[in-house]
Amino acid sequence: MRVSSFAVARPAYYDRNASSIMPNYSGVISPTGATTRYTYTVAAGKKALIEVSTAFISRVTAATVSGQFFSDTRITLPTTDYLILHTPHQTDNTVLAPYFASSTAAVTLYAGETISSQTTDNSTGGTILFILGAKGTLFHA
């Protein structure tokens, strides 16, 4: 016995067992090359709609020699990477000078695709606060 018909529309993504995902990283780091700070991979049978990604960076202690520091957030597909958020390269040695970037372009991730953030600090000495994150909705495909 059939309970519904093919004429019934499929529920919207937010009505398909939806839940929030919020990959994030927060930390004060010493100079380092490109380092991945978080990665989120979409599970089989699911999709994720990334609604916003943000990055906040600020020097905590002055560097001996200030180099470029920045962060990147990217989507990784099976064949390529796609940059969705990049904080401009800074060489500012001013303590507590804030830099903020945000991307509200919605991006859909399919099973096996990932979102990740990296930090880079090419200075000599000093520390930098990085606060990175994204918010999305995970749902049945």
Mean pLDDT per block of 10 residues along the chain (141 residues) reads 63 85 97 96 96 96 95 92 90 93 91 96 96 96 88
| Burial of residue 105, with CB atoms counted within 10 A of its CB: 0-12 exposed, 13-18 middle, 19 or more buried | exposed
Q: Are 60 and 95 in contact (CB under 8 A)?
A: yes
Cα-to-chain-centroid distance, residue 107: 11
- The CATH code that applies to domain 15-140 is 2.60.120
pLDDT value of residue 124: 95
Tokens 């499929």 belong to which residue?
Answer: 10
pLDDT value of residue 2: 53
Q: Are 69 and 122 in contact (CB under 8 A)?
A: yes
pLDDT value of residue 12: 81
Q: Is 91 strand, coil or helix?
A: coil
